Amino acid sequence: MTELTASHWGAYEWSLDAAGAHLLRPYGADPDPSPIGLSMLDAYRSGTRVMRPAVRRSWLTHGPGTRTDLRGQDPFVEVSWEEAHTLVAQELQRVIARHGNEAVYAGSYGWASAGRFHHAQSQLRRFMHAIGGCTVHSQTYSYAAAEVLLPHVVAPMTELEVFHTSWDVLARHTSLVVTFGGMPWKNAQVGAGGAFEHRLRSGLNMVVEAGCRFVNFSPVRADLEVSADDVLEWIPLRPGTDAAVMLALAFEVIRLDRHDRDFLSRHCVGFDSLHAYLSGRTDGVVRDADWASAIADVPAQRLRTLALQMCQPADGGRCMVNAAWALQRAEHGEQPYWALVSLAAVLGQIGLPGGGFGVGYGCENGPGSPHGLLQPGPRLPFAPNPIASVVPVARISDMLLNPGGAYQFNGLTRRYPDIDLVYWAGGNPFHHHQDINRLRHAWRKPSTVIVHEQVWNALAKHADIVLPATSTLERDDIGFAYREPVVIAMKAKLPPPGIAQDDHAIFAGIAAVMGFGDAFTESRSPLKWQEYLWEAWRERLSADGVAAPDFATFRKDGLWRIPVISGHGAVSPVMLSDFRRDPEGHPLKTPSGRIELFSHTIAAFAYEDCPPHASWIEPTEWLGGALAQQFPLHLISDQPANRLHSQLDFSAHSLAAKVAGREPVWVHPEDARLRGIANGDVVRLFNARGACLAGAVMTEAIRPGVVKLSTGAWFDPQDDAPQTLCKHGNANMLTRDAGTSRLAQGPVAQSCLVQMERFTGPLPELSAFDLPRFVGRTDA
Where are the alpha helices (H) located in 356-418, listed in sequence order? Answer: 396-401
- DSSP letters for 481-549: -TT-SEEEEE---SPPSTT-B-HHHHHHHHHHHHT-HHHHHTT--HHHHHHHHHHHHHHHHHHTT----
Residues β-bridged to residue 577? none
What whole-number distance in Å separates Cα of residue 431 and Cα of residue 733?
Answer: 10
Q: What does the DSSP 8-state code read for residue 455?
A: B
The answer to whether 105 is a known catalytic residue is no
Tell me which of 59, 109, 143, 234 is the catalytic residue.
Answer: 109
Q: Which residues of 552-564 are buried (b: 16+ CB within 10 A; e: fewer)?
A: eebbeebbbebee
Residues 89, 93, 99, 101, CA torsion sign:
positive
713 touches 731 (CB < 8 A): yes
Task: Find residue 269's DSSP bridge partners.
Answer: 596
φ, ψ of residue 333 in degrees (nearest 5): -65, -15
If one counts every other C-beta atom within 10 angstroms of the C-beta of residue 721, the result is 9
The reply to whether 111 belongs to the active site is yes
Number of C-beta neighbours around residue 256 at 10 A: 14
Given 9, 27, 44, 111, which residue is catalytic? 111
Q: Rounded distance, CA 202 to CA 104, Å?
A: 46
Residue 266 parent element (H or E):
helix 261-267
Question: Using an 8 Å Cβ cutoff, are 64 and 94 in contact?
Answer: yes
Residues in a beta bridge with 667: 698, 707
E-state strands within 8-79: 10-16, 22-26, 54-56, 76-78
Q: Which residues are catalytic?
A: 109, 111
